[in-house]
Structures are given as structure tokens and as C-alpha cells.
Amino acid sequence: MEELLAIPAFKPGLRFYGAFGSLCVILLAAALDATSLSVALPASPFYRCEKSIISQQLRTTSIQAFWCGTSFLLASTVFQPTFASLSHNFGRKPILLSAIIFFAAGAIVAAIAKNSVVLLAGRSIQGIGGGGIISLSEVLITDLVPLRERGTWFGYQSGVWALGSVTGPIIGGAFAQNVTWRWIFWINIPICGIGLVAILFLLRLNRRPGSFYSKLAAFDWVGAFLLTASATSFLIPITWGGVMYPWSSWRTILPLILGVAGMLAFLWHEVYHASEPVIRFGIFQNRTAIVNYLGTFVHGIVLWCLLYYLPLYYEGVKNYTPTIAGLAAFPETFTVAPASIIVGIAITITGRFRWAIWAGWFLTVLGMGVLYDLTPDTSIPAWIFMNLVPGMGLGMLYSSLAYATQASADQADVAFAAAMYTFARSFGQSIGVAIGGTIFQAQLKVKLAAYPALISNSTQLAQDASALVQVIKAMPRTMPERGMLVDAYADSMKIVWATMAGLAFVALMLSTLTEGLSINERQVTEQGLSEKRSGAVEESFN
């Protein structure tokens, strides 16, 4: 109690609420864009489908469509640590403003695209900016809020991200079908404009001492390059393995090896040569940090696999339209976001976070196991209630895992811990779809082998779960092969859910090593809210 009384009470004012609200606005834009394009992109190498709107208009191949959808997540993941490190040297606010400008510029490029190359470039630029927005939104909470109080605000942020991620396909599908797919990108411009102005004038932070040139010289440019290049080299073959090229192909194996070698070179450089490392390895100083960073990585895998493959189940097996498939994901929306907020508030009140981690993983294991029972005949009330369980579990983990990773770090390094938390989750998300795709592909080949009419095309049909949805939709309902594909699709999805349940169980077992650390820590930051009250325009850049 004495320790708690020694810490100044956190009393957020209007300036804090304005700054936090502006962060939520731009985070919503990034979350929407991460998933909104998926329903308008799918292309099939076998059929031209009416629903493949962008693929038709830009005449993209299935591979080009695949990369347009993947590039955002890939770019946002690999640039997150660099943005966080740049903000430590040059200040959170100017780097965050740069990220918003990247994001908005990429949206404009994608919106005016006349071919897939320009669209891919726009999505990649957006991804770079999105990586900065995602990372710095989390880091800034560590500058603005003491550790014990962060759960509430992490919960709100996680709720915004979850809401944007799950409603993105609905908005994207509605724009693509009823207006134009280009509005998926144009809608970002007013959101970014509001966020940019709000951050410019409301987020006034203390300056980090030092001249611009001294900060430029101190930044670890070699480490940032090695990390970005090696992460890209590792994630690209993970993304295209089994889709563009076989896992046994040199085009998959070689960049994987180069990526691992680059990571080792990055570690060697950071430990022995970097004066201001991109990643401070002190954040991995105890078992609580290690097991919960691993848990965050698994959380990203399970969450993104669920968000990607569950709508495909609704489209391919239940024959729902993309918009209805997006609406069918509402059981996750209305559990992930509230669960994250409620748990954050509960941790702030109780001062304990381990119970939320354990309960979250238990519900996630149970929920992914329940999804194993999804079949072509599952009723609407049944799949609604089945999806509430994993949504609650994954939502509880958003706030509780953030607490565990930050409570385990020295307060001087907590911003780096927050950045690593977002990177670990995003890295898991990048791999989640690939893991699910590999499992689905292997299982579907086995299922199709049971049907003589389909066995000759089993390799092509199993190549991409998204493309196969379009194959199924293009078939007449009376066609026997359509029923075979639907059954095989549903059965293959079962193994994806079972694998995710297994990964979540491993994370549950690891989480038992989490220590009961105190969250009553005094805040330590160089870049908190400035006490200046002047309205001068130049101060708005601080």
C-alpha cells in the first residue's frame, strides 16, 4: 500500500483525452485497411468470378491479387521496430506524423491505380505507414499513462483495433459491391486528415534533448537495415510458400535461409556494435518476458488465422456473400473488443494480470476446439454461440499480454517492450495465414483424393483457400462436384482449427511460468505530455 501511495495519482485532463482520441482515430484507419481489401481481391486461376471486383477491373492474376492483399501486412510488420527506434531518437510526434503521411500517400496511390503494379506499390507504402501507426500508438501509451493505469487505455486501443479488423471486410465488401472498390482507399483520407490535425495540435510532448545531427549519428542505421531486410527475406517465402512456389522450391528455401542468417547478423551487431540498439535485449531479462512474448506471437497467429479463414468458411461452405460473411464475424467483434476493455479495467483495479492471461488462453483453447464442430449444416444460432468463446479468450489476451511484457521490463525500457509486443503480435499475424494455408492445403489434398472426379485437379484446387471459394461459387448448385468440394473444404477447415487449439494450448502451458510481478511502478519517460500551455503553432510540432 505504501508503494502505491508513493506513486502520483493519474489524473487525465482534456489534453490527454484529445491526444488519446487522435491516436485511436488513426489506429482505426490502419485496422480497417489491414482487412478491408480482402473481400474485393480474390481471383481464381480457374474461373472469372463476378465477385472478384478488383481482379476483373485491373485484370490481375491470382498471384498479383494475392500480393496486393499481403503486402500491407508484410510491410507494416517489418517496419515497426524501425519506427519505434526512430521515435526514441527523434521524438514520437514527428515520426508518428511521418507514418500518417506515408499511410495517406499510399492510400492515394492505391485509389488511383490503373494496374496491379501501382496498387501493389500503394499498398506497400500504406503498410510502411501502418507499421508506424500501430507501433507508436502502443509506445505512446507508455509515455502518457503509468503502468497500473495502462490496462484501461490498452483495452480501448485493442477494442478499436479489433473493431476495425473485423468490420474492415464488411466495409470493403459494401464499397466494392455497391459503390467502387476505390472508396476502400479514399475513405482513409478524411480519417487521416482528422488524425493528423488532432495529433499536430493536441499531442504536445516533451522534446528529447540533443541536436538533430547528434540524433542522426546515434541512430542504429545498420541494425535497422539488417532487421528490416532479414525480416522481409524471412516473411516473403513464408507468405508465398505452397501458394506461388512449393515449400521445397529454392525460391522458398533460399530467402528463408538468408532471412535467418540476416537475423543472426542483426543480433551480433546489436550486442557488440550498436550504441543505441534498435531492440534493447534487456526487455528479455526474465522468464515472464520470454514466455509472454512467445504468447503474443502465438496470439497473432491464432487471431489472424481466425480472421482470415472464418470468413472463407462462410463464403465457401455456407455460400454467404462477402458482406454477409463479414457480418457473420460479429460474434468476434462484440466479444474481442469488450473483453479487452473489461479485462484492462479489471487489471487496473486489482493490480493483478496473471489470472487474465490464464483465463484468456483457456477460453482460446476451448473456443478453437469448439470450432472443430463447424460443418456445412451448422445452424446460424449454433455458429454464433460457437464463435463467442474464442472471441472472449483472444480479447482477454490483448490487454493482459501487454501488461506482462511491460511489467517484466525496467521502466526505462518499457517503450521498447511495448514496441516488441506489437512486433511479436504482427510477426505472428504474418505467419498465421501461411500456417493455416499450409495445413489447409495438405488436408484438402487428402480429402479430394477420396473423390475420383476431383483427384486429377486436387493440387490446383488446394493451392489457395481464397481462390477455391471462387471456384465453389462459380459452380452450379446441382453439380455433384460442388457438394464434394464444400464437404472437403469444411473438413479441411477442421484441422486448421484443431492446430490453432494446439498452439493455444502450448501458449497456455508456457503462461504458467508467468511471475506475479507488481504493476505499481512509477512512470519513467522522456517524452510525456508537455506542460506548456502556449498555443503557438511551432509548439504543436513538439
Angle at alpha carbon of residue 223, lines to 219 and 224, rounded to 5°: 75
Contact call for residues 122 and 110 (beta carbons, < 8 A): yes
What's this model's pTM, rounded to 2 decimal places? Answer: 0.86
CA distance 29 to 42: 22
* Tens of pLDDT, residues 94-113: 999 999 999 999 999 988 88
* Tens of pLDDT, residues 274-286: 778 888 888 888 8
Contact call for residues 220 and 277 (beta carbons, < 8 A): yes
Q: With left for phi above 0 and alpha for psi between -120 and 50, is residue 59 left, alpha or beta? A: left
What is the pLDDT at residue 263? Answer: 92
* Tens of pLDDT, residues 380-435: 888 889 989 999 999 899 889 988 998 888 877 888 888 899 899 989 988 887 78
Give the Å distances, CA to CA, from 178 to 27, 37, 174: 26, 14, 6
What is the pLDDT at residue 63? Answer: 63
* Letter string b/e over residues 229-242, b meaning 16 or more CB atoms within 10 A of that residue's CB: bbbbbbbbbbbbbb
What is the pLDDT at residue 378? Answer: 87
* Tens of pLDDT, residues 421-479: 989 998 998 888 778 878 888 888 888 877 777 776 766 676 666 777 778 887 888 78
- Number of CB atoms found within 10 A of residue 163's CB: 17
Q: With left for phi above 0 and alpha for psi between -120 and 50, is residue 91 left, alpha or beta? A: left
What residue spans define the domains of the chain?
14-219+276-520, 220-275
* Tens of pLDDT, residues 111-150: 888 887 888 889 899 999 999 998 998 888 888 888 888 8
* Tens of pLDDT, residues 490-503: 888 899 999 999 99
Q: Is the pLDDT of residue 184 over 90?
A: no
For the chain, what percent of residues have pLDDT higher than 70?
Answer: 85
Angle at alpha carbon of residue 294, lines to 289 and 298, rounded to 5°: 145
Among 54-58, 204-208, 211-215, 246-250, which range has the highest average pLDDT? 246-250
What is the pLDDT at residue 56? Answer: 67
Contact call for residues 484 and 375 (beta carbons, < 8 A): no
> How far from chain centre, in Å, is Cα 155?
16
Cell of 441: 492445403
Residue labelled with grid coordinates 502451458: 509
pLDDT band at 532 (very low <50, low <70, confident <90, very high): low
Amino acid letter at 251?
Answer: R
CA distance 54 to 68: 10
Give the Å distances, CA to CA, from 265 to 210, 218, 227, 272: 30, 20, 9, 11
Q: With left for phi above 0 and alpha for psi between -120 and 50, is residue 241 left, alpha or beta? A: beta
Residue 474: phi and psi, rounded to 5, are -75, -15
Half-sphere exposure of 183 (CA within 13 A, CB side): 10
What is the pLDDT at residue 44? Answer: 39
Cell of 60: 490481375
Cell of 145: 499513462
What is the pLDDT at residue 535? Answer: 42
* Tens of pLDDT, residues 307-357: 778 888 888 888 887 767 777 877 876 788 888 889 988 998 888 999 999
CA distance 119 to 109: 7
Closest CA to 528 of 54, 3, 8: 8
CA distance 198 to 194: 6
Q: Is the pLDDT of residue 297 over 90?
A: yes
Residue labelled with grid coordinates 494450448: 505
Closest CA to 80 of 22, 137, 161: 137
Cell of 205: 510532448
Please tell me the chain's helix, strand, coil percentages from 3-state DSSP, rounded to the nearest 5.
Answer: 75, 0, 25
What DSSP element (H or E) covers 155? helix 150-178
Residue 525: phi and psi, rounded to 5, are -155, 145
What is the pLDDT at residue 4? Answer: 47
Q: Is the pLDDT of residue 513 over 90?
A: yes
Fold (topology level) of 14-219+276-520: Growth Hormone; Chain: A; (1.20.1250)
SS3 529: strand
